[in-house]
Structure 1
């Protein structure tokens, strides 16, 4: 992640205490000390910065304060009730340090979300594609826009680095400052439910926010689907964007539309503000005539599948809601390029099978993408997939069932096993495949599973390699090893051609 220059003026602790008034701040030491940046990672603290001493899973933030002081931190932000750091630095004590981090970062970096228009996209599936489409649509009409999310932080072709789906609050503020300094007008960002709960976006002013859909995911973090849904809803109900674009094709989207009144724009196939007049979906893409409150438009996109029609509808709703003329928005979306790792083709004109890589890693996403690839070839659909370790285990049999119902043959393999044994993860997937009476093979070596699927495919078959998409690594234990499904697919295709 890039690190733009510090706030030139800086902010005193007394001034910051005013910003944090809702959190009952108490300044200890010299309140006149000025800070010029905010960091929650002690390894990255620089001279003159405020170190936010957050509690970890097994550690207190105070344990890292000495390291931050040695790197030049000017002051500390700590949570009341936590052990006070031994570092002899002035500090602010607050009741909620996570929220304070977000509010402090926005303030110290000069409130960049007040000058850069922030567009947030949330939902179980489709965040990355929809964010990509909105950013490309804005750029297509000459606006200067950046994108932040699963694919990293990028502005006008310049990639600054990989990030979490939604980075920490201090990183978001620095991204916004970078966009501002480069003359950008928009930052389009993915907003995960976890980020909302952890207050990472609480300091931001959202010009617009969009909802794609809600299906099961992240129950390991949220505990229940209801809590997960409420985290999604909070982006609209608590953070109050000026424009809320809501896909009402599922029950939660419809419920959310009843809770949001100001600046609401609904999208769906039918019975919505932005809707489909007619659409043709096939192997060559999506052709559709769409209706908006500001007029009709046409889209001719190379994206495939019903799920991408929904993503296009949400993106169109945002663009039109931001004031773009519908015909201009339709033209810009029509020429948006392929989203990396989202039904990304790996085969060439010389190949007799179609091989695509996709990031789908939830039951709903797998079902949707399998339905989409069914239209791409005349033969069978073969699917290589696994489930991530140390994540929501309850969805594993559901993913197996989704693949069992959507594919003709499955190759069950390792994804990012993390600390779990791949064989244990696969064992949790198999009951779902059994429930669907599916044909499958188990091959724990992901490279061999991809090779086997490609070599065993018949001419005209489609091979879908699901779960990792654009990722170029595999997490085994605590080690992040280079591994790219696209590279492995092309290698397997070369072996197939050489037979």
Structure 2
């Protein structure tokens, strides 16, 4: 379903105080008990009972570990004026106005949008979905918008940020109530656009159902999150919701990807999209792809150690960009951002200039060594899927003539089927594979490593198992020969490690720099002797 137009009482920018009855007018199927509670004044919406304040609506949604109905007493004690529950629920709302709805997750999104003034009807929202590339593409799009005179906030894996607003990310895509508050706060600070990563889990959970998307972007689809979705078909269907059900004004779709081509068919006249995207920009990295295959594609594309050069054909003419980013995956991300710039009506030469500027996305091929001081290259990257890891390893090969050492693991309590595939990706592309902990969570770290090893057996890499991640990083950096490259994969920007139920401070970049300092302190002859020992 598309986001509903706001009523006069919920106009963008309205104060966060309104009649409960006016909120419920925008929640189809909602039933209020008692009816006279319609005149109750409400001022906020919360899913987390701990955040409820006087005047708020508390939404009692079923969670992964507990049902929100358990926390109704706490919400009431904190001053909740209304409780949203599922139709037919037996929960006691303790004398507070009771709102029964047919779909609690959808009601959360709709109620939050209404109460906080429909902020995404004021902002031009760009939503980016796909297994890989969301974060980098989001930052590239933000750079284009800002260069062209807009002011773009960003919501995604690295946090929720605009101006002096800088909040850590609890999810790639926040819960619907948090998202509405963040968007409203960005508007108050002068934002004109919102660029957000839209995860498959958020789409399946209807967190984005009250957002009006100006542009939706599809980057790619490869295996991930099967612990949540169960099957690739269900995973793909969740991604498709952004285009087929949420009715974006325009869509940029990667047609190098098989599912991207299927999405194009879905959005064609007569397809299942309701309503279809008004404008479609297909993009491809295939040199010479004609306008019948893709609206935006390279006429010329060159990869070098210094970055990517693209001369691209667009509906507005040819543009040239030279980005310091590396790898085929980043060529696709750059063309995705250029496609969004086109769909937003930005000047594409200015957008290309923005894409040509240095952009370091934290934890995405982030360099930790110091050229001139260090004799090895050390990179940290968030790649945590088989496809992302294979692409990053292919990219870093271009940086030097030495060996590639890859430190990696797999997250616990996550899709176990990808573990041998991760091993296979590293075994085929790296010279040395150092298997270690990622975030093991509640699982046995040794068991996770054992699940990775069969995939490594199919490749050529020498294998080392060191479950202590700090020691694994140190070993790879110290044992590298001059000219080698060390890739530390999986955690990227994360400043923590989750072991059991405990979240500990841990940053791959800090550990890499410590190891490099130890390497520098070692006599040159020792570095030569250790080369190849990993």
How does the TM-score come out when normalised to structure 1? 0.97
Aligned partner of 1:109 in structure 2 is 116
Correspondence for 1:398 among 394, 402, 421: 421
Alpha-carbon distance, 1:297 to partner = 0.8
CA distance in 1 between counterparts of 2:215 and 2:106 reads: 21
Correspondence for 2:516 among 470, 493, 497: 493
1:82 aligns with 2:98: no
Aligned partner of 1:3 in structure 2 is none
CA distance in 2 between counterparts of 1:276 and 1:120 reads: 24
Aligned partner of 1:295 in structure 2 is 317
CA distance in 1 between counterparts of 2:241 and 2:334 reads: 24
Q: Deviations over 1:226-280 (max 9, x none)?
A: 1101111110000010010001111111111111143111000233111011111
**Secondary structure in structure 1 of the residue aligned to 2:301:** strand
Partners of 1:151 and 1:163 within 8 A in 2? no
1:278 aligns with 2:273: no
Count the aligned residue pairs: 493
Task: Summarize the Cα distance change of 1:158–1:80 in structure 2 as closer, same or farther, 3 Å threshold.
Answer: closer
**Secondary structure in structure 1 of the residue aligned to 2:457:** helix
Partners of 1:136 and 1:336 within 8 A in 2? no
CA distance in 2 between counterparts of 1:389 and 1:244 reads: 34
CA distance in 1 between counterparts of 2:128 and 2:72 reads: 35
1:243 aligns with 2:250: yes
CA distance in 2 between counterparts of 1:86 and 1:25 reads: 14
List aligned pairs for 1:197-216, cutoff 5 A.
Answer: 197-216=204-223
Aligned partner of 1:25 in structure 2 is 31
**Worse-superposed segment, 267-276 or 155-164:** 155-164
Task: Summarize the Cα distance change of 1:313–1:452 in structure 2 as closer, same or farther, 3 Å threshold.
Answer: same
CA distance in 2 between counterparts of 1:414 and 1:9 reads: 45
1:266 aligns with 2:257: no
Alpha-carbon distance, 1:161 to partner = 2.7
Task: Summarize the Cα distance change of 1:367–1:486 in structure 2 as closer, same or farther, 3 Å threshold.
Answer: same
Correspondence for 1:447 among 454, 470, 473: 470
Partners of 2:428 and 2:458 within 8 A in 1? no
Q: Deviations over 1:80-128 (max 9, x none)?
A: 1333234221121001100000011001111111111111000000000
Aligned partner of 1:353 in structure 2 is 376
List aligned pairs for 1:52-451, cutoff 5 A.
Answer: 52-156=59-163, 158-261=165-268, 262-270=278-286, 271=289, 272-349=294-371, 350-451=373-474
**Secondary structure in structure 2 of the residue aligned to 1:375:** helix
1:467 aligns with 2:500: no
Alpha-carbon distance, 1:336 to partner = 4.6
**Secondary structure in structure 2 of the residue aligned to 1:328:** helix
Task: Summarize the Cα distance change of 1:7–1:90 in structure 2 as closer, same or farther, 3 Å threshold.
Answer: farther
Give the unaligned 5+ runs of structure 1: 1-5
Partners of 2:83 and 2:93 within 8 A in 1? no
**Secondary structure in structure 1 of the residue aligned to 2:141:** helix
Aligned partner of 2:9 in structure 1 is none
**Secondary structure in structure 2 of the residue aligned to 1:217:** coil
Partners of 2:32 and 2:97 within 8 A in 1? no
Q: Deviations over 1:8-59 (max 9, x none)?
A: 25232222221112x3434435121121110000011111111101122353
Alpha-carbon distance, 1:71 to partner = 1.2
CA distance in 1 between counterparts of 2:89 and 2:447 reads: 38
Q: Deviations over 1:151-200 (max 9, x none)?
A: 00111474233331000000110111011111111000000000001000
**Secondary structure in structure 2 of the residue aligned to 1:393:** coil
CA distance in 2 between counterparts of 1:281 and 1:82 reads: 59
Superposed structure 1 runs of 4+ greater than 4 Å apart: none
CA distance in 2 between counterparts of 1:406 and 1:346 reads: 21
Partners of 2:15 and 2:117 within 8 A in 1? no
**Secondary structure in structure 2 of the residue aligned to 1:239:** coil
Partners of 1:25 and 1:95 within 8 A in 2? no
CA distance in 2 between counterparts of 1:25 and 1:191 reads: 30
Partners of 1:62 and 1:83 within 8 A in 2? no
Partners of 2:16 and 2:44 within 8 A in 1? no
Alpha-carbon distance, 1:435 to partner = 2.0
Give the unaligned 5+ runs of structure 2: 1-12, 269-277, 523-534
Alpha-carbon distance, 1:461 to partner = 0.6
How does the TM-score come out when normalised to structure 2? 0.90
Partners of 1:13 and 1:92 within 8 A in 2? no
Partners of 1:7 and 1:37 within 8 A in 2? no
